[in-house]
């Protein structure tokens, strides 16, 4: 019986944590300007819930219960730090604001978007934007974030602590920026979400639960931003892009765990439901009439998906989309992908000519896909020796054993 109650309480607490953690942190942080204090207070509130609820039962409004306890902790903490005279005004203000928001209605205002903008503030090192969002909105601990971003846990912990101190000391505001700067600032939020998603997606086999989780969390955050800013085309574009990528997760390996390149993936193994959701989102974005990086990248995915119906991707469209993306980003990786599209439309030699133009780009010299693309086109052009050398470069730069094996097989076929 006691065990049963314990289980029920844990489930209830986990449920609130899942749906309300970020909301509670965002509300407390916006009020106090102090993310770290909000986190400490809420974690104490959760600990209190685990001892209190089994005895007294799960409250009708667990969110409000947690908020009340967290508030008490914040006020106690602030009282210890400040002298009584100056503290009282400030504290009464905080107490009143929490009180009114909790008692007038059970719904706690959703400040998560404001918190995300604070985490992705230009005054915070951009490498920390995604980790901060994962920690404050989703409650990930530093060790989990560190393992996903391949950083030592203590290092990540220190960086997060420092970033949160800076948010407080420098007076970074917790609010959604004005229309005049919303687009630019939103880019940073979207980039952070995409970084979290990409970390998760880069684990193709899905054996690392933590990283696979990150892709799902990236999509969850993408959905959250879309629900809070439904008229922002780039937010819609990013979500469409992530869903397209997620739809192909299972097709990236065959039953034996071998790497399958996009062009050879079995379209039956793509998730049709996710694809159709992505297409709907992209259509919605395009109607808003403001093109951007994520919409273009999602559109490239759409053009690949056409293969489900026609048997081949719409390479002419892909080439045009990469042209537009390159004008926007000037990224050498985009230029590389454009070369591959050119090869599909105009032939291997044209693709190679486009690749040659990129040969001096320092960021590509050590980039495996550049050498793999080059090797593939050289092979198609009948230049087996040069292709062999290029495959060797690609194999030497690859970290994923399955991809390495795939490249070695392609290299071996050249001999025959």
Partner 1 sequence: MNYMLLIYGNEANMLSASKETVTQTLAAYSAYTEALKQAGVLVGGNRLRPTSSASSVRVGNGKTQVLDGPYAETKEQLAGYYMINVPDLDNALSWAARCPGAERGTIEVRPLWEM
**Which residue, 192 or 387, is less far from partner 1 as judged by CB?**
192
Tallying the residues shown for the chain, one arrives at 416
Within residues 368-387, the interface with partner 1 by CB under 8 A covers none
Shortest separation between residue 181's beta carbon and partner 1, angstroms? 8
Shortest separation between residue 167's beta carbon and partner 1, angstroms? 9
Shortest separation between residue 34's beta carbon and partner 1, angstroms? 13
**Which residue, 90 or 308, is less far from partner 1 as judged by CB?**
90
Shortest separation between residue 118's beta carbon and partner 1, angstroms? 10
Within residues 24-63, the interface with partner 1 by CB under 8 A covers none
169 sits near partner 1 (criterion: CB under 8 A):
yes
Shortest separation between residue 178's beta carbon and partner 1, angstroms? 9
Contacts of residue 48, Cβ cutoff 8 Å, sequence gap at least 6 = 69
311 sits near partner 1 (criterion: CB under 8 A):
no
**Segment near partner 1 (CB under 8 A), from 10-18, 119-127, 294-302, 331-339?**
119-127
396 sits near partner 1 (criterion: CB under 8 A):
no
172 sits near partner 1 (criterion: CB under 8 A):
yes
| Residue choice 80, 83, 171, 416 for contact with partner 1 (CB under 8 A) | 171
Shortest separation between residue 233's beta carbon and partner 1, angstroms? 24
123 sits near partner 1 (criterion: CB under 8 A):
yes
Total site size for partner 1, rule CB under 8 A: 9
Please give the Cα distance from 8 to 413 (Å, whole number).
59
**Which residue, 30 or 364, is less far from partner 1 as judged by CB?**
30
**Segment near partner 1 (CB under 8 A), from 13-21, 51-59, 165-173, 362-370?**
165-173
266 sits near partner 1 (criterion: CB under 8 A):
no
As a whole number of angstroms, the longest Cα–Cα distance in the chain is 86
170 sits near partner 1 (criterion: CB under 8 A):
yes
**Which residue, 170 or 413, is less far from partner 1 as judged by CB?**
170
Sign of CA dihedral 23, 187, 149, 254: positive
**Segment near partner 1 (CB under 8 A), from 41-49, 172-180, 210-218, 271-279?**
172-180
Please give the Cα distance from 388 to 206 (Å, whole number).
31
125 sits near partner 1 (criterion: CB under 8 A):
no
Q: What track of x and - describes contact with partner 1 for positions 60 through 79 (by CB under 8 A)?
A: --------------------
**Segment near partner 1 (CB under 8 A), from 100-108, 120-128, 222-230, 243-251?**
120-128
| Residue choice 57, 173, 230, 257 for contact with partner 1 (CB under 8 A) | 173
Residues interacting with partner 1, by CB under 8 A?
A: 121-123, 169-173, 177
């Amino acid at each position: 019986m006691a065990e049963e109650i314990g289980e029920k309480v844990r489930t209830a607490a986990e449920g609130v944590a899942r749906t309300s953690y970020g909301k509670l942190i965002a509300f407390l942080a916006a009020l106090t300007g102090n993310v770290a204090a909000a986190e400490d207070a809420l974690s104490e509130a959760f600990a209190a819930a685990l001892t209190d609820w089994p005895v007294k039962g799960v409250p009708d409004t667990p969110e409000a219960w947690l908020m009340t306890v967290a508030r008490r902790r914040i006020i106690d903490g602030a009282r210890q730090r400040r002298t009584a005279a100056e503290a009282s005004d400030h504290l009464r203000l905080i107490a009143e604001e929490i009180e009114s928001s909790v008692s007038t209605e059970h719904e706690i205002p959703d400040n998560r978007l404001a918190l995300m903008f604070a985490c992705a503030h230009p005054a915070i090192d951009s490498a920390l934007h995604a980790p901060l969002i994962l920690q404050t909105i989703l409650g990930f601990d530093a060790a989990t974030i560190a393992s996903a971003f391949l950083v030592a846990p203590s290092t990540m912990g220190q960086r997060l602590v420092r970033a949160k101190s800076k948010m407080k000391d420098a007076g970074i505001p917790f609010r959604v920026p004005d229309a005049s700067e919303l687009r630019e600032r939103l880019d940073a939020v979207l980039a952070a979400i995409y970084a979290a998603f990409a970390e998760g997606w880069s684990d193709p086999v899905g054996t690392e639960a933590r990283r696979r989780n990150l892709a799902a969390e990236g999509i969850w955050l993408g959905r959250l931003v879309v629900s809070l800013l439904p008229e922002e085309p780039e937010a819609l574009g990013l979500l469409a892009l992530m869903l397209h990528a997620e739809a192909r997760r299972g097709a990236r390996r065959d039953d034996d765990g071998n790497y399958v390149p996009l062009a050879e993936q079995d379209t039956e193994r793509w998730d049709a439901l996710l694809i159709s959701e992505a297409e709907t989102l992209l259509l919605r974005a395009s109607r808003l009439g403001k093109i951007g990086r994520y919409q273009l990248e999602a559109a490239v995915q759409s053009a690949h998906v056409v293969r489900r119906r026609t048997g081949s991707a719409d390479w002419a469209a892909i080439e045009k989309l990469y042209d537009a993306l390159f004008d926007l980003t000037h990224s050498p990786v985009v230029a590389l992908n454009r070369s591959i599209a050119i090869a599909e439309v105009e032939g291997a030699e044209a693709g190679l000519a486009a690749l040659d133009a990129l040969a001096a780009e320092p960021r590509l010299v050590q980039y495996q896909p550049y050498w793999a693309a080059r090797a593939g086109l050289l092979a198609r052009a009948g230049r087996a020796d040069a292709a062999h050398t290029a495959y060797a470069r690609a194999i030497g730069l690859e970290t994923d054993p399955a991809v390495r094996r795939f490249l070695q097989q392609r290299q071996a076929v050249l001999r025959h």
